[in-house]
Amino acid sequence: MQIRNIAIIAHVDHGKTTLVDKILHATHVFRSNQETGELIMDSNDLERERGITIFSKNASVTYKDVKINVIDTPGHADFGGEVERVLKMADGVILLVDAFEGPMPQTRFVLQKALQLNLKPIVVINKVDKPNCRPDEVHDAVFELFFNLDASEEQLNFPTFYGSGKNGWFNSSLTPCEDITPLLDGILQYVPEPKISEGTLQMQITSLDYSSFLGRIAVGKVTRGSIKENEPISLVMADGTVKKSRVRELYVFEGMGKKKVTEVLSGDICAVVGLEDFNIGDTIADFENPEALPVIKVDEPTMNMTFGINNSPFFGKDGKFVTSRHLRDRLIKETEKNLALRVEDTESGDTFMVYGRGILHLGILIETMRREGFELTVGQPRVIVKLIDGKKAEPYENLVVDVPQEFASKVIDLVTRRKGEMHVMETKGDIQHLEFEIPSRGLIGLRTQMLTNTQGEAVMAHRFTEYKAWKGAIPGRNNGVLLAKDNGTTTGYSLDKLQDRGFFFVDPGEEVYKGMIIGENNKPGDLVVNSNEGKKLTNMRASGTDAATNIAPKTVLTLEECMEYIQQDECIEVTPHFIRMRKSILDEDERKRVQKSMKAEEV
């Protein structure tokens, strides 16, 4: 049977997962009466809630007696580690681009990886049914992007399809047709069959699956030879050591699931059960003459955070897993399948340093852990600083902002204050397209401020470019915070009296503790307030005076917003049902003592 392996790459929200849904339906993977819902491939709860793909996944369909392995990849640069290894399994890529927005920075990031691996591209311009879309301009922009990324002559001669994933049609021209068969025919025509080289077995493990029944499962593409059930094999590790092992069971992908087989020939993607202690990037090779494939290199992390046990007064009230042993085991387990993540021990046995690709990357890990029942404390995200030629260097990012013209000056002002430099300014219809180069530090806390200043209209995206010279201090949060004075329950009476001091992150009737951040001060500097005071009751009553507290509703921050909000001496307490911000040192006198000693050291 002929095989085609194709990865689908696109920026967040350009309709990648919807396209996969249409391919699955068009090739009759499901029974005609089967309920499938939307976004079939985004199986993880977090993916469905946020509407983004985080983990790459495989599905397989059969069209005109050709097996097409479809690989859905994440669109976020923060999940770059996920994308790079997945592309190793593909022989061609579908680059999906929105007919209005055109190619975005993260499309560029993934496309660059695909072109370097010499994959054959097919361009699909999606959402041509949207008002003010501009498919012809977008096609030119895509060609320019290919050219800028040093695509070969053959890659520049890419086929283009237009259509609407939502309405279920794709065609080689802008004329609507009935379904997506022109695109499926295009995949068979333009994507090459897997290259099969002569020789003994070689298969690189490019992703992991886990089953509580079968244990860890290795997934990858057989690049040479064939692999059989029950066959003895060699596992060549990244450091060159060779372990002997045996294949217990073999599966290939079929539809959304897997099918057990006895042999897989080269060119197909399969899942291998029965191997012990393997890592992503290892090679499954011939038992007697093992030959390793080149090790997968993943981009370095650019940000780190401290993860520690929850040591607040509310410790253990909400979560199941609260000890440092639980925390350590969970983080180590995550590094096995999350390649761009690194974990290191610190001097304290209760805290760990976790390195990741960005705030979203680390935020997804924290969110996943809290849903599993963990309680933890996380510190402020910091960029990783390196010494290059004896000089201090920090990571820089390419930041792209699309915003209505009336807000463009506010955006430019915001970004330049954070040491960003503007490189491109173009007008697209009534939208201003701005591109900046900015230190990664400048992005922390930028999104919230930008949405506030542009009435929620700004669309921003960024990707890591390189390490460059340190840019100096960047102004952080201007205002101080309101801190709870004592443990207890907040009352409407005291919050009402404190409203002129700032705005609150808590409502009346919430449990708070000493040193917890309950609001933002209107002025610089922190303020300790008594939020738990009840009204002194007398036997004189005036009708209606007790009910006359008009308190503004609390401001609710998401986990990522909290990570961007906190300063160096603050941290976030994360439990399954609560996200609270607090000072790292809860006692006010102790905090002042530490600040004094730090100032004395600086002098």
Q: Which element (helix H / strand E) includes 415? A: helix 408-417
Dig out the tokens for 582 from the structure: 């607090």
- Residue 493 DSSP SS3: helix
582 — pLDDT class (breaks 50, 70, 90): very high
134 — pLDDT class (breaks 50, 70, 90): confident
Dig out the tokens for 267 from the structure: 């060119």
- State residue 114's pLDDT score: 83
Q: Is the alpha carbon torsion for 475, 479, 485, 486 positive or negative? A: negative
Please report, rounded to a whole number, the percentage of residues in the chain having pLDDT higher than 90.
7
Taking the C-alpha atoms of 251, 41, 170 and 108 in order, what is their torsion angle to the nearest 10 degrees? -100
Burial class (CB in 10 A: 0-12, 13-18, 19+), 262: exposed
CB 567 within 8 A of CB 368: no
Whether 274 maps to a domain, the answer reads yes
Whether residues 147 and 22 share a domain: the answer is: yes
- Sequence ranges of the binding site: 13-18, 126-129
Whether residues 65 and 158 share a domain: the answer is: yes
Show Cβ contacts of residue 200 under 8 Å, excluding neighbours closer than 6 positions. 224, 225, 285, 286, 289, 291
Range(s) of the domain holding residue 454: 386-469
Could you report the per-residue pLDDT of 226-237, keeping only the tens digit for each?
Answer: 888 888 888 888
- Among 131, 163, 190, residue at a domain's last position: 190
DSSP of 279-347: -TT-EEE-SSS--PPPPPP-PPP-EEEEEE---STTTTSS-SB-SHHHHHHHHHHHHHH-TT-EEEE-S
Dig out the tokens for 97 from the structure: 């681009």
- Among 469, 501, 520, residue at a domain's last position: 469
Q: Which element (helix H / strand E) includes 378? A: strand 376-378
Whether 312 maps to a domain, the answer reads yes
| C-alpha to C-alpha distance for 472 and 392, rounded to whole angstroms | 10
Whether residues 354 and 252 share a domain: the answer is: no
Whether 293 maps to a domain, the answer reads no
Q: Please tell me the total number of residues recorded for the chain in this structure.
A: 603
Q: Taking 60 as the threshold, does the pLDDT of residue 330 lie above it?
A: yes
Average pLDDT score over residue span 376-400: 87
- Residue 234 DSSP SS3: strand
Whether residues 541 and 523 share a domain: the answer is: yes
- State residue 34's pLDDT score: 42
Whether residues 464 and 482 share a domain: the answer is: no
- Sequence ranges of the binding site for GTP: 13-18, 126-129
Q: Which element (helix H / strand E) includes 394? A: strand 391-404
Whether residues 276 and 403 share a domain: the answer is: no
Dig out the tokens for 425 from the structure: 């300014």
CA angle 552/557/559 to nearest 5° reads 165
| C-alpha to C-alpha distance for 8 and 475, rounded to whole angstroms | 40
Burial class (CB in 10 A: 0-12, 13-18, 19+), 461: buried
DSSP of 437-459: EEEHHHHTTHHHHHHHHTTT--E
CB 478 within 8 A of CB 526: no
Q: Taking 80 as the threshold, does the pLDDT of residue 183 lie above it?
A: yes
165 alpha-carbon distance from chain centroid: 23
DSSP of 64-120: TTEEEEEEE----GGGHHHHHHHHTT-SEEEEEEETTT-S-HHHHHHHHHHHHTTPE
CA atoms within 13 A on the CB side of 77: 23
> Backbone phi, then psi, for 387, in 5-degree steps?
-100, 115
Whether residues 52 and 158 share a domain: the answer is: yes
Whether 294 maps to a domain, the answer reads no
- Among 260, 285, 310, residue at a domain's last position: 285
Whether residues 23 and 155 share a domain: the answer is: yes
Helix 16-26 × helix 181-190 angle, to 10°: 100
- State residue 541's pLDDT score: 56
Residue matched to tokens 């963990």? 374
Average pLDDT score over residue span 302-318: 88
How does the average pLDDT of the chain come out, rounded?
A: 81
Whether residues 320 and 254 share a domain: the answer is: no
Dig out the tokens for 153 from the structure: 């002559």
Residue 24: CATH number of its domain: 3.40.50.300
- State residue 43's pLDDT score: 41
Of the listed ranges 65-79, 293-307, 367-381, 559-573, the least confidently predicted one is 65-79
- State residue 54's pLDDT score: 42
Residue matched to tokens 């029974």? 31
83 or 409, which is more confident:
409
Domain count, the chain: 4
Whether 197 maps to a domain, the answer reads no
Residue 279: CATH number of its domain: 2.40.30.10
Average pLDDT score over residue span 257-279: 83
- Residue 376 DSSP SS3: strand
The type of residue at 243 is K
| C-alpha to C-alpha distance for 254 and 229, rounded to whole angstroms | 18
> Backbone phi, then psi, for 296, in 5-degree steps?
-75, 130
Whether residues 25 and 169 share a domain: the answer is: yes
- State residue 193's pLDDT score: 85
| C-alpha to C-alpha distance for 506 and 582, rounded to whole angstroms | 13
Whether 195 maps to a domain, the answer reads no
**Residue by residue, what is the 3-state secondary structure of 351-375?**
EEEEEECCHHHHHHHHHHHHHCCEC
- State residue 178's pLDDT score: 80
Dig out the tokens for 234 from the structure: 């060699």
The distance in angstroms from the start CA to the end CA of the chain is 75
Whether 550 maps to a domain, the answer reads yes
206 — pLDDT class (breaks 50, 70, 90): confident
β-partners of residue 468 are 394
Average pLDDT score over residue span 17-26: 75
Could you report the per-residue pLDDT of 232-258, keeping only the tens digit for each?
Answer: 888 888 778 888 888 888 888 887 677
Q: Taking 80 as the threshold, does the pLDDT of residue 108 lie above it?
A: no
Residue matched to tokens 């089967």? 34
CB 6 within 8 A of CB 68: yes
Residue 420: CATH number of its domain: 3.30.70.240
Whether residues 363 and 490 share a domain: the answer is: yes
| C-alpha to C-alpha distance for 346 and 352, rounded to whole angstroms | 6
Residue 359: CATH number of its domain: 3.30.70.870
Whether 444 maps to a domain, the answer reads yes
Whether residues 271 and 358 share a domain: the answer is: no
Burial class (CB in 10 A: 0-12, 13-18, 19+), 186: buried
